[in-house]
Amino acid sequence: MEGVAAPVVAPGLHTTMWRQLYVVVKKDVVNELRTKEMLLSMFLFVVLAMVIFHFAFSVRAHTDLTYFTGGMLWVTFIFGALLGLNRSFAHEKDEGCLDGLLLCPVDRVTIFLAKMIGNLIFLLVIQALAVPVFSLFFVSRSYLSDLPAFLAVLLLADLGVCSVGTLLATISMNTKARDLLLPIVFLPLIIPVLIAATLATTAIFAQTASLGSLGSKLLFLAAYDGIFMLAAYGTYDYALGE
Amino acid sequence: MAEIEVSNISKVFGRRDVLRDVEFAVEEGGFLSIMGPNGAGKTTTLRILATLLTPTSGSVRVAGLNLSDDPMPVRRVIGFISHQPLLYPDLTAYENLRFYAEMYGVPDRERRIAELLDRVELSHRRYDQVRTFSKGMTQRLAIARALVHRPRVLLLDEPYSGLDPHAVDILDGLLAEIRAEHTFVMVSHSISKTLELSDQVLIMDGGRIVFRQSGTVDEGHFAAVYREHVSEGVTI
C-alpha cells in the first residue's frame, strides 16, 4: 500500500521533450511490431503493386522501363504510405488512448514529431525491403555509385510524405469519413514531392543525373519538408481538435 | 485558496450551448460529485478540468494554476479515470504503466509501477497484454495508470461503470485510502455512491447547475430532487 497514498504535493516529476519524443516513438514501434497492422498492409500493397506493374508493362520482352521506374516507385510508395498513415492514429483513437496521451504534460508538437518519426521509420523499413526487389524487376543499370544521392532523395521525399501525411491524418482522424478524407486532401498536396522525387529517381536509375539538377531537386524537397513542418508546428494544436 | 475554482464557464459546440455559466469550487481534500441526465454537460465539465477541452468563456483554476494560461503544469497534478481505460491493448500491463510513468517523468518508476500493480492485484499479470484482460482487470489497471504520477486532483468519469464487484471493492478501497490527500471531482449516475463519497453534490441539467448541496445530504430528499431532473435510469 505504501506509495499509493504517499506524496501528493509536488511529486518532483521531471522529463524532457526529447525523452517524451523517444517514449512515444518507442511505444508506437513496439505496438506495431506486436500487431504488424501497418507494416504488413504496406508491405503487401507495395509488393503487389510491383507485381502488377511488372505484368502491366511487360507487353514486349526486353522493354526498357528505365524512364518509368521513378514514377512507378514513387506512386507505389505514396499509396503504400497512405495505408500506413490511415492506420497511424487508428489505435490511439479507437481505444480512447489519444485522451491518455493528451492528458500527459507533453507539448502537442512533440506528439506530431513522434508520430511523424514513427511513420517515417515504418516507411523506411518497407522501402529497405522493397527497393532491392524493385531494382531486380525494373532497373537494368547499376546505380551503386549514385546510392548516396538515391538515399538522400528517399529520406527527403519520405520526410515530406510523413510530415504532410501525419498532419492530415491527425485532422482526418476526428472525422467520420477519415478513410476517404485523408487520400482526398493528401494526394493533391503531395504532388510536388512526387514530381521532384520521380525526376530525381529516374535520373539516378537512368544514370543521367547531373549534380546541379539533382541538387535542385533535393533542395526543393528540403524546402517542402521545412514548410510543412513549420505548418504543422503552427497548427498541430488545432489539428488535434477537441 | 480552493484547489479547484470554476468561474462562469460556458462551452459552445457549433450552435449548441453545452455549458452555461457553470460555477463551483472544491476545497483541498474535498470530494465533489456531479450528477444529471445524459447530455447535461457533466462530462464536458470534467474534460475541461482535465484540459482536454477549453471553455468558450470563463476561467478554471486547478491547484492555483490557470488552465488557459498554461495547461502543462496542470496536467502534472491531474489524474483522470474514465469509463474508457486509456490503455494500449497490445502492450502489457507493465509497458502501459511504464509508458505513462515516463511521459510524466515519474522518479523511481520501477518501484512505483510495482507498488501500483500490487495494489490493484495485477502483479501476476504484469507481462500480459491488456487485450487479454477482463473488463474489471482493465479498469483496475486504468486506476493504476491514473495514479502513476501521484496526482493531487483526481477526476473520475463514471468510474464504477462496468466494474465487477471485485473491481468495485478495489476502487472503493483505493478511494478510501487516498481520500484524505486528494481532491476529487466525480461524475456518476449512482446516488448511493455519490452520497457515500461526496461532501459536495451538484446536479446539472441542460448545461446548468440546477441543484447544489454541501455537507450531509439527506438521501431521500436528494433522490427526489434528482428524479425531477432525470426521469429514468436513476440508480440508488
**Average per-residue pLDDT in chain B?**
90
Domain membership of residue B21 as a residue range: 4-86+155-229
- Grid-cell match 514529431, residue found: A113
Is A10 within the bounds of a domain? no
Element (H, E) at B11: strand B4-13
According to DSSP, residue A60 is labeled S
Q: How sure is the predictor about B233, in pLDDT bands with cuts at 50, 70 and 90?
A: very low
* CA–CA dist A5, A14 (Å, integer): 20
Is A66 within the bounds of a domain? no
Domain membership of residue A96 as a residue range: 35-49+73-240
Average pLDDT over residues B13-33: 93
Is A62 within the bounds of a domain? no
Q: How sure is the predictor about B194, in pLDDT bands with cuts at 50, 70 and 90?
A: confident
The angle, 0 to 180 degrees and rounded to 10, between the axes of the packed helices A178-205 and A211-240 is 170
Query: Is A7 in contact with B150 (Cβ distance < 8 A)?
Result: yes
Is A133 within the bounds of a domain? yes
Task: Look at residue A13 and tell me whether its pLDDT is greater than 80.
Answer: no
**Average per-residue pLDDT in chain A?**
88
The pLDDT of residue A63 = 72
Higher-pLDDT residue of B230 and B90 is B90
Query: For B177, which residue in chain A has the nearest alpha carbon?
Result: A5
| Chain B nearest CA to A123, separation (Å) | 21
Cell numbers linked to B128: 500480459
Average pLDDT over residues B197-203: 91
The pLDDT of residue B59 = 94
Higher-pLDDT residue of A1 and A174 is A174
Chain B environment of A23 (Cβ under 8 Å): 99, 102-103
Query: For A29, which residue in chain B has the nearest alpha carbon?
Result: B91
Chain A environment of B54 (Cβ under 8 Å): 242
Chain A environment of B149 (Cβ under 8 Å): 11, 13
**Under a CB-based contact definition with an 8 Å cutoff, are residues B142 and B87 in contact?**
yes
Query: Is B103 in contact with A107 (Cβ distance < 8 A)?
Result: no
Task: Look at residue B236 and tell me whether its pLDDT is greater than 50.
Answer: no
For A72, what's the count of Cα atoms within 13 Å in the CB-facing half-sphere?
24
- Over residues A134-181, the pLDDT tens digits come to 988 888 788 888 899 999 999 999 999 999 999 999 998 888 787 888
Chain B environment of A88 (Cβ under 8 Å): none
Q: Which of A221-230, B163-172, B178-187 has the lowest mean pLDDT?
A: B163-172
Closest CB from A15, A23, A91 relative to B99? A23
Is A5 within the bounds of a domain? no
Q: Which ipTM was obtained for this model?
A: 0.90
Per the structure, the count of domains in chain A is: 1
Higher-pLDDT residue of B68 and A114 is A114
* CA–CA dist B102, A26 (Å, integer): 11
Task: Look at residue A197 and tell me whether its pLDDT is greater than 90.
Answer: yes
Task: Look at residue A8 and tell me whether its pLDDT is greater than 80.
Answer: no
Task: Please give the span between the terminal C-alpha atoms of chain A, in angstroms, as a whole number.
Answer: 37
Per the structure, the count of domains in chain B is: 1
Chain A environment of B53 (Cβ under 8 Å): 242
What's the alpha-carbon Rg for chain A, to the nearest Å? 20
Element (H, E) at A112: helix A108-138
The pLDDT of residue A44 = 95
Chain A contact for B36, CB < 8 A?
Answer: no
Taking Cα atoms as reference points, which of B53, B57, B59 lies closest to residue B155? Answer: B53
Element (H, E) at B145: helix B135-147
**Under a CB-based contact definition with an 8 Å cutoff, are residues A133 and A69 in contact?**
no
Q: How sure is the predictor about A59, in pLDDT bands with cuts at 50, 70 and 90?
A: low
Is B184 within the bounds of a domain? yes
- Grid-cell match 474508457, residue found: B84
Which sign does the torsion angle of CA A89, A92, A94, A99 carry? negative
Is A22 within the bounds of a domain? no
Query: Is B91 in contact with A97 (Cβ distance < 8 A)?
Result: no
Cell numbers linked to B206: 441542460
Q: How sure is the predictor about A11, in pLDDT bands with cuts at 50, 70 and 90?
A: low
Is A45 within the bounds of a domain? yes
Is B123 within the bounds of a domain? no
How much is the pTM?
Answer: 0.89
- Over residues B209-221, the pLDDT tens digits come to 998 888 777 777 7
Task: Look at residue A186 and tell me whether its pLDDT is greater than 90.
Answer: yes
Strands of B65-66's sheet, edge to edge?
B16-26, B4-13, B57-62, B65-66
According to DSSP, residue A163 is labeled H
Cell numbers linked to A163: 510530415
Instruction: Mark which residues 93-112 of A lie under 8 Å from B by CB.
Output: 95-97, 99-107
CATH of the domain at B27: 3.40.50.300
Is A13 within the bounds of a domain? no
* C-alpha to C-alpha distances, A57 to A60, A65, B79, nearest whole angstrom: 8, 8, 59
Query: For A4, which residue in chain B has the nearest alpha carbon?
Result: B116
Q: How sure is the predictor about B231, in pLDDT bands with cuts at 50, 70 and 90?
A: low
Closest CB from B86, B88, B149 relative to A99? B86
* CA–CA dist B198, B185 (Å, integer): 9
Q: How sure is the predictor about B19, in pLDDT bands with cuts at 50, 70 and 90?
A: very high
Chain A contact for B120, CB < 8 A?
Answer: no
Chain A contact for B218, CB < 8 A?
Answer: no
Number of other CB atoms surrounding residue A7 within 10 Å? 11
DSSP 3-state of B100: helix
Task: Look at residue A35 and tell me whether its pLDDT is greater than 80.
Answer: yes
- Over residues B25-52, the pLDDT tens digits come to 999 999 999 999 888 999 999 999 999 9
Task: Look at residue A9 and tell me whether its pLDDT is greater than 60.
Answer: no
Is B150 within the bounds of a domain? no
Taking Cα atoms as reference points, which of B187, B139, B160 lies closest to residue B34? Answer: B187
Chain A environment of B87 (Cβ under 8 Å): 95, 97, 100
Chain A contact for B140, CB < 8 A?
Answer: no
The pLDDT of residue A68 = 87
- Over residues A89-132, the pLDDT tens digits come to 877 877 789 999 999 999 999 999 999 999 999 999 999 999 99
* CA–CA dist A191, A236 (Å, integer): 22
Burial class (CB in 10 A: 0-12, 13-18, 19+), B56: middle
- Over residues B99-148, the pLDDT tens digits come to 999 999 999 999 999 999 999 999 999 999 999 998 889 988 999 999 99
Query: Is A27 in contact with B147 (Cβ distance < 8 A)?
Result: no
Closest CB from B85, B104, B174 relative to A104? B104
Q: How sure is the predictor about B225, in pLDDT bands with cuts at 50, 70 and 90?
A: confident
